[in-house]
Amino acid sequence: MIKTKIIHQPKQTLFERFYISGIIQGVWITTGHFVRNLTLHMLHRIGLFRNIPAAVTAQYPEEQKPLALRTRTRHRLTKREDGSPRCVACMMCETVCPARCIYIVAEEHPDPNIEKRPAKFDIDLGKCVYCGFCVEACPEDAIRMDTKIIDTAAYSRREMMLDINELLNPKQPIKA
Amino acid sequence: MEHIVIPAFLSLFVLVNVINLAALHTWLERKQSAVMQDRIGANRAKIFGLSLFGLFHPIADTIKMFLKEDFIPPSGNRLLHTLAPCLSMFFGLVAFAAIPFGNTIEIGGHVINLQVANLNVALLYIFAIMSMGVYGVVLAGFSSNNNYSLIGGLRASSQMISYEIALGLTVMGLVLIYGTIDLQKMVHAQGNYWFGWLPAWGVFLQPLGLFLFLAAGLAETKRTPYDVPEGESEIVGYFVEYSGMKFGMFFFADYLETILIASLTTTLFFGGWQVPWLQADGFHFPWGGGMLLSSFTVSLLQVASFSVKVLFFCWLFMTVRWTLPRFRYDQLINFGWKILFPLSILNLFVTAIVVLVFKL
């Protein structure tokens, strides 16, 4: 025997069925928001109460909502003290990448203590799924996803390819 | 010469004001809904870096509307398809001719009646024109040769019929009380006072009538609580097949009707251009004292009073539109025939008895 719970809708009184009280309550709420926000907007114009927001909107291209610390954002390659990339072109990230969006061409490093370095290091943001596996896989802490850049918009797929220069010198993100 | 220039100027004045107010409604719609919902609203259209609270958006919208492709469905009726938005807008505009927006103003020795057409059947005229407005909608639905737009058109006509009866019966109560259907005379009658201080506005005589009039009048505008002809979520509506400025004209006609209902509510229930305690020579406050004003100032104050009231009702209708959910089709027809219609008959009946007992 399955136990069922029958929920009885409360019967509406005649007064409620006219909806007039409901309509007035609804209009009261929206009017309250209207008056409050309009007053705040006007006070903001003359420079008062700037700390109380009149709207929840973030004007996105100009301002960005603060991101959580662990948010995975656009990749960057970290540098050694001399400014050259820390990457040793071990191909770990390229291998682990589920979207196969990393393309590395390795070359001999002039320093005999370091085996290889990337001649080319491209990431196709059009393919990247922002899983962060490349960061996890890297043995050298050479790739990170902490630039706080979240937009990938471009006019063509070609422009979504990031080469090693862009990865080493990421642009400044929009200030929160 | 004089009887051509003055009406021409008056009609131009009303036309410019009404069209500008309707264009401002697109701005009001966006901004007010945004402020009500804790948003900011359209503010990106800028001229020389000046956004001016998004006031350039109506201009940008108009430019966009005019530049878009004007598509007429190949299987539709070309003539009727073009005629429909023009009819909608035409009937929306000409109704304003009979709305008195002021008493009289004296300029250079001429006494000008501030009403474009001084009709003695102004109320009948406005109701006739409002009913004609549905022709544009029905024609749009019919001439597009599209099932959805046809459904929209039919819904619009059934809605109009259902609500116009309640609207007309509600107004009959006021006609009984004032004994006239001349709007200017009605407004004059609302310039009296009860107990020496309470303005004899229609709202105090017919509170139920005001409620019924607002409920039925909002249905006339085809906007959200009653947006069954459009029904954006189900049948995009009678203007599915319209694009560019023709679609814009339907939109515009909706706003014109909103303003018309606001003006009518003001005129019938809120004393039209009457300012409380303002006589022809200045203020006479019931608690004594007063302020003498020139007749020109009084006229301007009366026009301003009318404008403020109309703007308030535009705001109220916008608030209602952005607060209430929409009716389903059967709910809408039930509401019109089973609630508004009996209530308006009751209102008329009680009013008739009261008028009979107390005035005769």
Examine the pLDDT at B156 and tell me if it is beyond 60: yes
* Mean pLDDT value of segment B71-78: 87
Task: Round the average pLDDT of chain B to a whole number and report it.
Answer: 87
- Inter-chain touch A26–B37, beta carbons under 8 Å: no
Query: Domain for residue A64, yes or no?
Result: no
Question: Residue A45 is encoded by which pair of tokens?
Answer: 């114009």
The pLDDT of residue B262: 93
Tell me the shortest Cα–Cα distance from B52 to chain A, in angstroms: 12
CB A124 within 8 A of CB A161: yes
- Inter-chain touch B320–A34, beta carbons under 8 Å: no
How many structural domains compose chain A?
2
Query: Domain for residue A58, yes or no?
Result: no
What separation in angstroms does the CA of B160 have from each of B11, B101, B125?
28, 26, 16
Q: Which of B35, B40, B211 sits opposite A38 (nearest CB)?
A: B35
- Inter-chain touch B36–A37, beta carbons under 8 Å: yes
Query: Domain for residue A158, yes or no?
Result: yes
- A83 and A27 share one domain: no
The pLDDT of residue A59: 84
The pLDDT of residue A175: 61
User: By the CB < 8 Å criterion, does B354 face chain A?
Assistant: no
Instruction: Quote the radius of gyration of chain A (alpha carbons, Å).
Output: 27
Query: What phi and psi values does residue A13 have, to the nearest 5 degrees?
Result: -75, 165
The pLDDT of residue B193: 84
- A164 and A81 share one domain: yes
What separation in angstroms does the CA of A13 have from each of A17, A80, B325, B336?
6, 76, 21, 21
- A140 and A97 share one domain: yes
- Domain span at residue A103 reads 76-168
Examine the pLDDT at A176 and tell me if it is beyond 80: no
Which residue bears the tokens 């003290």?
Answer: A81
Residue-wise pLDDT tens digits, A4-56: 999 888 888 888 777 788 888 999 999 999 999 999 999 998 888 888 888 88
Pick from B27, B26, B158, B153: which is nearest to B85 by CA? B153
State the DSSP string of A25-47: HHHHHHHHHHHHHHHHHHHHHTT
CATH number reported for the structural domain that contains residue A134 in this entry: 3.30.70.3270
The pLDDT of residue A142: 92
Residue-wise pLDDT tens digits, A108-163: 988 888 889 999 999 999 999 999 999 999 998 999 998 888 888 889 988 899 98
The pLDDT of residue A174: 62
Examine the pLDDT at A169 and tell me if it is beyond 60: yes
SS (H, E, C) chain A: CCCCCCCCCCCCCHHHHCCHHHHHHHHHHHHHHHHHHHHHHHHHHCCCCCCCCCCCCCCCCCCCCCCCCCCCCCCEECECCCCCECCCCCCHHHHHCCCCCEEEEEEECCCCCCCEEEEEEEEECCCCCCCCHHHHHCCCCCEECCCCCCCCCCCCCHHHEECHHHHHCCCCCCCC
Residue-wise pLDDT tens digits, B46-69: 888 788 888 898 899 889 999 998
Which ipTM value was assigned to this complex?
Answer: 0.84
The pLDDT of residue A2: 85
For the ranges A171-175, B10-14, B154-158, B275-279, the lowest mean pLDDT is seen at: A171-175
Which residue bears the tokens 């009500």?
Answer: B36
- A24 and A94 share one domain: no
Interface residue of A34, A36, A62, A63 to substitute, partner B, most B CBs within 10 Å: A34
- A125 and A84 share one domain: yes
Ranges of each domain in chain B: 76-359
Report the alpha-carbon distance of residue B218 to residue B300 in Å, rounded. Answer: 29
The pLDDT of residue B202: 83
Query: Domain for residue A52, yes or no?
Result: no
In which band, very low, low, confident or very high, does the pLDDT at B342 lie, cut at 50, 70 and 90?
Answer: very high
Report the alpha-carbon distance of residue B203 to residue B271 in Å, rounded. Answer: 9
The pLDDT of residue B108: 76
- Inter-chain touch B35–A41, beta carbons under 8 Å: yes
Query: Domain for residue A57, yes or no?
Result: no
- A163 and A85 share one domain: yes
- A85 and A30 share one domain: no
The pLDDT of residue B205: 85
Report the alpha-carbon distance of residue A151 to residue B307 in Å, rounded. Answer: 47
Residue-wise pLDDT tens digits, B298-340: 888 899 999 999 999 999 999 999 998 888 888 888 888 988 8
